[in-house]
Amino acid sequence: MKPFGAGPRILIVEDEPSIVDTIQFPLETDGCITESCGTGGEALSLLAKDRFDLVVLDVGLPDMTGFEVCRRIRTTSNVPILFLTARSEEIDRVVGLEIGGDDYVSKPFRPRELSARIRAILRRASIEPAPLNLTVPTDSASSGLAGSRHSEAEAEARERSTERALSIDQQRKVVLYFGERLTLSRYEFRLLEILAGAPGRVYSRSQLMEAAWEEPEASMERTVDAHIKSLRSKLRQVRPEIDAIRTHRGFGYSLFEEL
């Protein structure tokens, strides 16, 4: 898939050199090409002049937070971003509404766990049409969901959804909820797609993880909870009175049948 056998290019944004080493070594052993920098400013300028397949982004950087760096990257690029977080309170924000990261690993982490996550993200990315502002996806592979390039698709989906509260266009990754387009991360989209495949059916967290993540053993149930939380809050912004995703204690989640 990559020309001349070149490995995926990974940018590591982390200000602690010892952590950079920990990350760099297993990745390069895996055949990745890595570059690293210690500030958000350097990361943004490297990304502006070079193409990377994935960014490993520390939340705590000296010049700005990783969240801010991610927000700025997202204005021009859908490059997959894996956050490194030092505190568990950061996790909800990482996968939350406004950030747009793809995954996270908490410090301290095992290098093997990190490379497994990175491989999973790269595998998903390799079946996606990569650049922003190009054609819409032609298969069911996940794709970046932000941006305004879907406006035609959105109009079409809206037309088709006149009588349905929830409409999911799997090809175009457009979700309309009571006629309003939701901007979902790829995991939120996958989770909603799975739940909507069988409204009313109860899925356990591990079933959802199995279905939505390609390397579920490398993820944690907590990730599902965090994504569900953020998905739910987006649905509530449109219809606060409807509890669209039901929690079944000890079992998991289901989508409200009447949508």
Binding site for Ca ion (CB under 5 A): 15, 58, 60
b/e per residue 162-172 (b: at least 16 CB within 10 A): eeebbbbbeeb
Is the CB of 17 or the CB of 199 nearer to Ca ion?
17
Q: How far apart are CA 222 and CA 9, in angstroms?
A: 29
Residue 57 near residue 81 (C-beta atoms within 8 A): yes
CB nearer to Ca ion: pick between 62 and 199 = 62
To the nearest 10°, the Cα dihedral for 20, 23, 25, 28?
Answer: -110
Bridge partners for 245 per DSSP: 255
Which residue in this structure is represented by tokens 């079946």?
Answer: 127
We find the least distance from the C-beta atom of residue 16 to Ca ion, in angstroms, to be 5
Burial 175-214 (b: 16+ CB within 10 A, else e): bbbeeebbebbbbbbbbbbbbbeeeeeebebebbbebbbe
Closest distance between Ca ion and the C-beta of residue 17, in Å?
11
Least CB distance to Ca ion at residue 115 (A) = 20
Q: Nearest distance from residue 43's CB to Ca ion, in Å? A: 13
Q: Which is nearer to Ca ion, 69 or 212 (CB)?
A: 69
Nearer to Ca ion by Cβ, of 15 and 210: the residue is: 15
> Quick one: angle between helices 205-212 and 186-197, nearest 10?
120
Give the nearest residue (CB) to Ca ion.
Answer: 60
Residue 20 or 176: the one with the smaller Cβ distance to Ca ion is: 20
Least CB distance to Ca ion at residue 59 (A): 7
Instruction: Considering the complex, state which of residue 7 and residue 60 has its C-beta at the smaller distance from Ca ion.
Output: 60
Residue 65 CB, nearest approach to Ca ion (Å): 10
Least distance to Ca ion from the beta carbon of 103, Å? 18
Residues in contact with 90: Cβ distance below 8 Å, sequence separation at least 6, in sequence order: 59, 83, 104
- The H or E element spanning position 255 is strand 252-255
Nearest CB to Ca ion, comparing residues 41 and 60: 60
Torsion angle, alpha carbons of 69, 73, 79, 83, to 10: 10
Give the CA-trace dihedral at 84, 89, 73, 37, to 10 degrees.
-30
Residue 230's φ and ψ, nearest 5 degrees, are -75, -35
